[in-house]
Structure formats: C-alpha cells, structure tokens
Amino acid sequence: MNTYPECLSCLLKQTIQTVKFAKAKKVTQKKIIKEIEKKFLPFVNLKLSPPEISRNMHIKIKELLKNDDPYKNVKTKYNKIALSLYPSLKSKIKKSNNKFLTAVKIAIAGNVIDFGVQLAFDIKKDVDDILNKKFAIFDFEKFKNKLKKVKDILYLADNTGEIIFDKIFIEYLIKTYKSNIIYAVKEKPILNDATIKDAKWAEIDKFAQIMSCGADSPGTVLKYCNKEFLKIFKNSKLIISKGQGNFEALDRIKKPIFFLFKIKCDLVANYLKLPIGSIILKSNL
Amino acid sequence: MNTYPECLSCLLKQTIQTVKFAKAKKVTQKKIIKEIEKKFLPFVNLKLSPPEISRNMHIKIKELLKNDDPYKNVKTKYNKIALSLYPSLKSKIKKSNNKFLTAVKIAIAGNVIDFGVQLAFDIKKDVDDILNKKFAIFDFEKFKNKLKKVKDILYLADNTGEIIFDKIFIEYLIKTYKSNIIYAVKEKPILNDATIKDAKWAEIDKFAQIMSCGADSPGTVLKYCNKEFLKIFKNSKLIISKGQGNFEALDRIKKPIFFLFKIKCDLVANYLKLPIGSIILKSNL
C-alpha cells in the first residue's frame, strides 16, 4: 500500500507513544520527539510502504532511547492478559454452532491488541464486539476450499497478545484440516510485534514450526526478510496474513494470501472504501 | 485544559488536512507540512492550551498558504448540508415526548461536524446515533433550573454547519424559557469555526444578538477576546459553551458555564475518564 501524508501524523503519534512506553525521562522524551519532528518526518519518502517507513523511524527511536525493546513491559502485560482469556476463548469455539467462523473471528479479535495505531481499548469487550460483527470483506468459502486442498500453510504473525488468539486458531486448523503450519514472526522487537521469544512463550511450537521472517518492520516487508523465509514465502500455496501492517506491506504481492485484520486507520479505510473498525477476510488472488 | 505531547500528532494531522482542504498545489502542501514539522512542532509550548497552540499554528499555515480561509469551501458545503436537515430536525423536537432533551441533543449532534479532529463521518447517521445515546455527564436538572431563573444567556458558538443545529436549540430556548441570547462567534476564520458571516447566513440574528468574541482560536481563548465580549463574559450568569475546543479553552474558568460537546480525542477522554464519543452536558460550577 502507498503511504499518504496523513501517515506522518500517525508516525508522530507512534513516536510519542513509544517514548512513553519506554518510560524514558521526560527530558529524553521531549528530545526524541523533537528529533523525529525535525530530522525524520520532513525527509520521509512517501513512495515506501507505511511499515517500511515505520521500521526506519523506530530504528532511529530505539537508538536515541538506547533501548532495543521499548514495548517490552507492554508486550509482557498483554501476552499475559491474552493468555488469561485462552480457556474462555477455547470454550467459545466448543459451544459455537459455526466453529470455523468463530475460530476465524477469534484470530481477528486478537488483532485488537495493537499499540501501533490505537491507544484505548478494552480487550474483552472488543473480542465480544468482533464475535458479533459481520465481515466487511468475507472470502470465506474460498478460504475454506483452500484449507481443504492445501495442507502446508505459512502463517504471518502480528502482535504479542494476539499470538494467543492465533494459537487457538492454529489448533483448530490442525484439528479440522490437518494443516502443517509455519508460524513466521519478526526478527527483532518492533512496536509490540511478536518475536520468536513470544511465540515460544505462547508454546506455539507445540503445534507449528516457528521461524523468523528476518524483518524488523511492523508488517512483513519482503526486502528485509531472510532467504529462508523468502524461499518458503515464494513456494507457499496458502499464506494467512494477520494484521493491518502485513496488509499494508503485502497487498500488492500476487500470492495466495488471505488477509485477516481489523481496519484501524482512515487511510486503509479509504483505500478499501470501508468504515474504520471493519473486519476483513480478504483473498489476494 | 493542558496540552499533552500527543496533541503534537493531532496538530500535524490538522496541518495536513488544512493544506488539502485549501487545495494547494502538491508541492506547496509538502513544503508547508515540512515547515510545520521542522519549525513549529519542535518549539510548541505545552503549557498553553490546545486551542491556543492550534491558533498560533494556523496563523502560520494561513500565511504560508497565502489563504486566510482554507476551509471556505468545506464550511459552505456543511452549512448547506446542515440547512437541508433543518426541517427534519425541527420536526424531531415537535414529535418528541421529551422536547427539551431532544433540543439539547440536537445542539450536541451539530457538534459532529468538526474537521479539526475527525475526518470521516456521516452527519445523518451521527445525528441519529446521538439522539439515541445516553449522556456520559448529564447536569440536566441543574441546567433546566438555571434556564428557568436566568434569562440572559451567552452562547459560545463552535463550527459552521453546527450553527444550524444551534439555531434550532436557540429557537426552543426562546420559545420555552423566554431567553435573551447573545451568540458569540469567532473574529476570523479558523478551521471550520463559525464567524459573523456564517451566523448571519444562518439567520441566527432573527432570534439572537450575534457578536464576535474577538478571538481567532478554535475555542474561546480569553486572552485573545475583545473587551466587549470579556465584559459580557464576566457578567454572565449563564454561559452555554459548544464543542470540545471551548471546553479545552475554558474548563478551568470558574464561571456558570454549561459545556455541551462530544468527546473527540483520546486526551480529553482520558482527562474526563470517559470513552471517546461520549456526549457531555457538564456544569462548570
């Protein structure tokens, strides 16, 4: 996806949020915000995708903070909150009349946990809202048919917290479709995105093969991915992509990708001509 | 109200929106956005209130644009849309079982028309949402009692479009409480705020005395108001204040102000410990 001038204000919002989450001293916070305003934003190349620009900005912020994981505490907190919801989410599938639909919705519901764009939320309420919500784009039959035919799935993870929701969906896919899943996470901390450490903590390795995509961008920007991942990506017959960041990074790639996410900003809303907050299951082919 | 670092990203959002609404050439848009990033935002004094900072920024933007009313077309458009809703809004009060409540809610519903913060909206839908919504702060009895006792009201206007909704509320107040109303608007164009020209166009002078507060800030920042207005403000026994900007500018002033607005940003939401989108009828005393 293209980057729009409006993304600049969102990048500044991310900066402010990041220095706060890092609990830097007030004077350091101010210094870093000014530095980004003066020396990063005016020079942004809008031809790059939003996750790529965001990556470059966060490399700078992390350097200035002298902290390679400013979201560390927040990530731990939301991993734990998500884990505490695990039993009730599992039982929602068990009790559901349409188990597959509920499983897909739980995977999307996990996407409400995202500090990149939204600040205020209430996870439990948001999860229930999504379970009661209709999809705005819903390539459901296509997705089901694909799952019946293709057993090897590349699953692009998104955020911490959300990974527990992914785990539930993955367990369902394995049980129902006998899928073999590669679960790809980020190489280094970026915003609250999940890394190998998080995926292992969530014990996703009990069900899927965990790997790093090699990138440290909030969204799988292929030019930063490692060779091993790119080979798997290239050969994949079915890719499940979680979150708006992965959509922004990959929507122009002609591959059998199913994007699962909630629309979190006006620009993506305008791009898809749908209201903000819409939930999406979109086939890219 | 205090300004928070997060307001900086909102100010940048306003800048981007303003140069777009002004239909400046792309190259001019980029130049102005860079100028604000480099030379305004890093030097913002967060001890000033948000409307005061916004005023100072927009003076700079208007200079750079060589355009003293970048929202002119947008204001005309939304004045007209609001006017087209006038008959149906009047009949909503007529048909209502609680006419006063409906009249107050219509006044707040007009506050959905605000380009300062929100971009995407659907006026009709938003109006109906607000008519069906419960107030988060609701000093209703206090307000009614005050209206019974105090006939002279200073009414602080907010945006174009919204002024048509105000007119309906004002007509109701005059009919029901025999109120005498001074309707105070902004001195010069700022964002989509109403000026004397707009108030006259809406024919509010048929029901109320129109005056300029003297300020060109998005919110009645007293230090920029004229003497005539300040005298009236000082002596007022009842002030109706429309919109979040006026709340940000005046919430610390110990005067008999009733704030009528919808919460439009996370910071005001956090400040009042209420969700974004809440509707408020709040007595300041």
Asked whether residue B118 falls in the same domain as residue B243, the answer is yes
ipTM of the complex: 0.82
Is residue B1 one of the residues assigned to a domain?
A: no
CA dist., res. A13 & res. B13, Å (int): 10
Which of B22, B38, B65 is the last residue before a domain boundary? Answer: B65
The pLDDT confidence band at residue A115, using thresholds 50, 70 and 90, is low
CA dist., res. B68 & res. B40, Å (int): 19
Please give the average per-residue pLDDT across B94-108, as a whole number: 95
- Phi and psi for A256 in degrees, rounded to 5? -75, 70
Asked whether residue A46 falls in the same domain as residue A182, the answer is no
pLDDT of residue A121: 52
Asked whether residue B177 falls in the same domain as residue B231, the answer is yes
Asked whether residue B165 falls in the same domain as residue B80, the answer is yes
Asked whether residue B143 falls in the same domain as residue B105, the answer is yes
Please give the average per-residue pLDDT across A91-107, as a whole number: 95
SS (H, E, C) chain B: CCCCCHHHHHHHHHHHHHHHHCCCCHHHHHHHHHHHHHHHHHHCCCCCCHHHHHHHHHHHHHHHHCCCCCCHHHHHHHHHHHHHHHHHHHHHHHHCCCHHHHHHHHHHHHHHCCCCCCCCCCHHHHHHHHHCCCEEEECHHHHHHHHHHCCEEEEECCECCHHHHHHHHHHHHHHHHCCEEEEEEECCCCCCECEHHHHHHCCHHHCCEEEECCCCCCCCCHHHCCHHHHHHHHHCCCEEEECHHHHHHHCCCCCCEEEEEECCCHHHHHHHCCCCCCEEEEECC
- What are B186-198's pLDDT values in tens digits? 999 999 999 999 9
Asked whether residue A131 falls in the same domain as residue A18, the answer is no
pLDDT of residue B118: 47
pLDDT of residue B128: 87
The least confident of A20-24, A124-128, B176-180 is: A124-128
Count of A-B CB contacts under 8 Å: 64
A25 touches chain B (CB under 8 A): no
Residues with Cβ within 8 Å of residue B84, at least 6 apart in sequence = none
Please tell me the total count of domains within chain B. 2
Which of A36, A65, A94 is the last residue before a domain boundary? Answer: A65
User: In which order are the strands placed within the sheet that holds B279-283?
Assistant: B135-138, B279-283, B257-262, B239-242, B152-156, B180-185, B209-212
Is residue B165 one of the residues assigned to a domain?
A: yes
Please give the average per-residue pLDDT across A129-139, as a whole number: 94
- Does the pLDDT value for residue B52 go beyond 50? yes
What is the separation of C-alpha B15 from the centre of its chain, rounded to a whole number of angstroms?
Answer: 18
- Does the pLDDT value for residue A264 go beyond 60? yes
Is residue B244 one of the residues assigned to a domain?
A: yes
Please give the average per-residue pLDDT across A20-46, as a whole number: 96
The answer to whether A37 contacts B37, with C-beta atoms less than 8 Å apart, is yes
The answer to whether A120 contacts B29, with C-beta atoms less than 8 Å apart, is no
- Does the pLDDT value for residue B121 go beyond 80? no
Is residue B247 one of the residues assigned to a domain?
A: yes
The rounded percent of chain A whose pLDDT value lies above 90 is: 87
The least confident of A37-51, A137-151, B14-28, B103-117 is: B103-117
The least confident of A112-121, B50-59, B134-143, B193-202 is: A112-121
Is residue B136 one of the residues assigned to a domain?
A: yes
Asked whether residue A46 falls in the same domain as residue A120, the answer is no
Asked whether residue A11 falls in the same domain as residue A53, the answer is yes
Asked whether residue B12 falls in the same domain as residue B82, the answer is no
Please give the average per-residue pLDDT across B180-184, as a whole number: 98
Q: Which residue would you say has higher pLDDT here, A242 or A126?
A: A242
pLDDT of residue B124: 79
Structural domain boundaries, residue B225: 72-283
- Domain of B265, CATH number, reads 3.40.50.10880
Mutate to test the interface with B, among A2, A4, A9, A38 (most CBs of B within 10 A): A9
Is residue A166 one of the residues assigned to a domain?
A: yes
- Does the pLDDT value for residue B218 go beyond 50? yes
The least confident of A125-129, B30-34, B132-136 is: A125-129
Please give the average per-residue pLDDT across A183-196, as a whole number: 97
Is residue B80 one of the residues assigned to a domain?
A: yes
Asked whether residue A46 falls in the same domain as residue A157, the answer is no
Is residue A1 one of the residues assigned to a domain?
A: no
Asked whether residue A221 falls in the same domain as residue A181, the answer is yes
- Nearest CA to CA, how far is A49 from chain B (Å)? 18
pLDDT of residue B266: 87
Asked whether residue B133 falls in the same domain as residue B58, the answer is no
- Does the pLDDT value for residue B122 go beyond 80? no
- Nearest CA to CA, how far is B87 from chain A (Å)? 28
Please give the average per-residue pLDDT across A194-209, as a whole number: 98
Which of B49, B65, B81 is the last residue before a domain boundary? Answer: B65
B118 touches chain A (CB under 8 A): no
Mean predicted lDDT score pLDDT of chain A: 94
The least confident of A83-92, A133-142, B120-129 is: B120-129
- Does the pLDDT value for residue B119 go beyond 50? no
B274 touches chain A (CB under 8 A): no
